[in-house]
Amino acid sequence: MLTLKYMNKQTIVSLIVIILGVTGLVLWSKSVDNRALSSTETKSHPARIENTAGGLKADNTFYDFGTISMKNGNVSKIFTVTNPTAEDITVPSLYTSCMCTKAYIVNSDGSKKGPFGMPGHGGTVPKANETIKAGSSVDIEVVYDPNAHGPAGVGLIERAVFLEDENRNVIEYKFKVNVTP
């Protein structure tokens, strides 16, 4: 066994640098694991998150389409936003994070307003200008086109739709999908 009195100064400095480096890597990797765990918990347990924007409320803001095939075409999901307040709330904007995703406001009679897409891509996104009455709800239909990115658009895809009220409070609806050819 080596003792310190037989080691030269360069060897001691080298050992200290190695020990500090390994300790730093261990601490860094633990912090990365903790951040990944927090992200995974959020994605796998979205019901734990109450998503609100101003007075608007959305109980469910995440959906996993699972694995879908490009050859089967578009998939869609209906999300609901509620106005639990005593006052009407105006929603001027509804937009998406990517051109492969469209959003619609679905009226109580089944008619749709939209499509609303990605700002700056394919022209301007129309204004939603929707008023959500006090105590009522509105459905937001999210439509994902797995063919929008062509053959390169396979694999895990994560996208979002943003509903913004008149005070710029935002509810973010997220989804993920695993696209196969």
Residue pLDDT, tens place only, 91-128: 999 999 999 999 999 988 889 999 999 998 767 788 99
Report d(CA 122, CA 129) in Å as an integer. Answer: 20
50-180 homologous superfamily: Immunoglobulins (2.60.40.10)
Q: Which helix (H) or strand (E) holds 177?
A: strand 170-180
Residue of 82, 85, 65, 86 lying closest to 74 (CA atoms): 65
Residue pLDDT, tens place only, 43-77: 333 333 345 556 899 989 999 999 999 999 999 99
Residue of 62, 56, 63 lying closest to 85 (CA atoms): 56
Q: Say what the pTM is.
A: 0.69
